[in-house]
Structure 1
């Protein structure tokens, strides 16, 4: 979602102006991706999926760049709860419980806790797990419809804040059984690092997913850091 970008970079290290001009003949297709994103935000009050994350550092002259892959599960309940459970290659948990954003690095035996309200506004998590509608997103992002590709509908989100840690986020959506399901997040950070999260077996509004799934209690014996 896997979202505080600095936290995602931690997992990555462990293992974890675009202008679209639509011709008149393609105008309906270009508008539809924003409509689909609006449908996703309004109709999907909760969700659960498996994810694969591939992180690729900026290319350097004369060097072959290889991405690093992580896998795990993702879940959210609007408007303020989500979690990423990284399983491979290293276990890590990122949980937003409505008040606090927790990062638990099992190998380091360390938990980092930050105030959620001060952390999430201009992050990929706001795009898919916390915003209620397009109007809420447009406070922090410029949203642009992009042409369909990879059998998905795409929206480009560009942060409005000049000091954002992100350059852009591309949101890939799939229409499935009348619902709009999240399929991909293509994140480019301010340093040129790319992180692509692909979601599979996306469940829309699962009845078994409640607020209790987002409770987090630091394990005994770990260091708890509150920056």
Structure 2
């Protein structure tokens, strides 16, 4: 599940912050396929547990996004600007939470929610990280110490022409306060596609239990 770093010195050619700023400024909508690998810390005498899931992701800045998990279980996460909805098909259960109280210091805020870099800096300490695997990286440390998020690393691929650069989101690496590591890899990223407003609307399916938090 999405939910949704100690800064170290940037290396040569570290332009992660420039890529993040360009992404936030120029990419107002986005759509991609994602694979998520969650690795839990190893317990004594046991190997780390690894879970893999995949699905579709799209967003419309600010404050609207959607994750549709299709494998191995069907789940939907929708942020409509006011409410964050989580629908678990197997449990036939919907959880609704006020979006403003849960999204500030989350990975979703980094990639989809904030309107500009200044808004992100209200919740995160941002720093360049060394280029790696052909990507430009940003390290983000939540300013709040009360949340479940410990750190986020965001990888971008820069492209386009010097006069009109493009920035594509490639990887999110998330570590929570329990040491669990989640890596989301994005493929087929579409920059600024036309997205229907209905993509970011959610209605509780008939017969599903609704829990408001």
Q: TM-score range by the shorter chain?
A: over 0.9
Which secondary structure state, in structure 2, belongs to the residue aligned with residue 155 of structure 1? strand
The equivalent of 1:107 in structure 2 is 90
**Residue 181 of structure 2, aligned match among 194, 203, 219:** 194
1:91 aligned onto 2:74: yes
8 Å Cα contact 1:77-1:210 kept in structure 2:
no
Number of positions where the alignment pairs a residue of Structure 1 with one of Structure 2: 209
Of stretches 138-147 and 176-185 in structure 1, the one that deviates more from structure 2 is 176-185
1:120 aligned onto 2:106: no
Q: Distance in 2 between matches of 1:171 and 1:74?
A: 16
**Residue 153 of structure 1, aligned match among 136, 149, 174:** 136
The equivalent of 2:201 in structure 1 is 215
1:56 aligned onto 2:39: yes
More strand by share: 2
The equivalent of 2:121 in structure 1 is 138
**Residue 45 of structure 1, aligned match among 15, 28, 37:** 28
The equivalent of 1:14 in structure 2 is none
Structure 2 gaps of 5+ residues are none
Structure 1 gaps of 5+ residues are 9-16
Q: CA deviation at 1:169?
A: 0.4
The equivalent of 1:12 in structure 2 is none
Q: Distance in 1 between matches of 2:28 and 2:109?
A: 13
More helix by share: 1
Q: Distance in 1 between matches of 2:59 and 2:16?
A: 22
- Taking only aligned residues, the RMSD between alpha carbons, in angstroms, comes to 1.5
Q: Distance in 1 between matches of 2:157 and 2:60?
A: 19
**Residue 34 of structure 1, aligned match among 17, 21, 25:** 17
8 Å Cα contact 1:38-1:134 kept in structure 2:
yes
